[in-house]
Structure 1
Amino acid sequence: MFDDRSPIYQQIADKIKDDIVSGILQEDEQVMSTNQYAAFYRINPATAAKGFHLLTEEGILYKKRGIGMFVSGEAKQSLLRQRRERFFEEVVDRMLAEAETIGVPISEIIGRIEQAKGSDE
């Protein structure tokens, strides 16, 4: 599951975020404990805890004392909002800048998107 592209704790946080966005984890649902996560993926519990801490700081997870960690009620909407912003910054804005550089009009881009969308339907 883990690769060398980023720290394991970051990959843990990203996996949980993906599970929330895709609906595998629901709002107010309990997630595995750090010890369970560490045992399941055969990693150091401190590494798992660091990933969970990151999600807690971001407001994606919250802790119920003595019970465990849960998905925040606003987690999915917050993550979707972040991903939309990142999509426009990393994909659309870069595409538009490149299109301007090489002289592709926006109308041609829109036509190509509509053509691709039409072939999916």
Structure 2
Amino acid sequence: MLTGDKPIFQQLADHITAEILKGTYPEESQIPSINEFAEFFRINPATANKGINILVNQGVIYKKRGIGMFVATGARAILLDEGQQGFIRAFISPLVNEASTLGLSKDDVLAAVTDAFEAKKG
């Protein structure tokens, strides 16, 4: 289930992030343990731990010693903000730079984006 160009621990962190954003793991709900993730994805528990620690360091997940791991209050907002900022860096900034290079105006770009959104609806 975890395949791709990214390291496995990052793929696990991305998987958990997606599940939080989808609502599979609501805020303050318990998530599977490191060993459960390791078993499910057939990965080393140390690799699973590394992926989960990414989210712990972001303040998205917290550990209750002896009880388990839980989604933090505000985790969805943190992930949405980080995702939106990442989207802007990865797509919007290069789009604006390329549009400028090609002589497209802000209105041209906005019209093209609006058309794309409208086409997606239909």
**1:4 positional shift:** 4.3
The unaligned stretches of length 5 or more in structure 2 are none
Matched letter for residue 9 of structure 1:
F
Q: How far apart in 1 are the matches of 2:104 and 2:68?
A: 53
TM-score (norm 1): 0.92
Match of 1:43 in 2: 43
What is the alpha-carbon distance in structure 2 between the residues aligned to residue 10 and residue 87 of structure 1?
Answer: 17
What's the offset of the Cα at 1:65?
Answer: 1.5
**Sequence identity (%):** 38
1:22-48 deviation per Cα after TM superposition (whole angstroms, max 9, x unaligned): 212110110100111111111111111
What do you get for the CA RMSD once the two structures are aligned? Answer: 1.3
Distance 2:33 2:69 in 1: 7
Counterpart-to-counterpart distance in 1, 2:17 and 2:116: 29
1:71 maps to a residue whose letter is V
What letter matches 2:113 in structure 1? I
Relative to the length of structure 2, the TM-score reads: 0.91
Superposition pairs of residues 1-121 of structure 1, within 5 angstroms: 1-119=1-119, 120=121
Distance 2:117 2:50 in 1: 41
How far 1:49 moved relative to its partner?
1.1
Q: Tell me how far 1:8 sits from its aligned partner.
A: 0.8
Secondary structure of the structure 2 residue equivalent to 1:62? strand
Distance in 2, matches of 1:92 and 1:117, equals: 15
Higher mean Cα deviation, 74-83 or 104-113? 104-113
Q: Unaligned 5+ residue runs, structure 1?
A: none
Contact 2:9–2:51 under 8 Å retained in 1: yes
Query: SS at the partner of 2:30?
Result: coil
Q: How many residues align?
A: 121
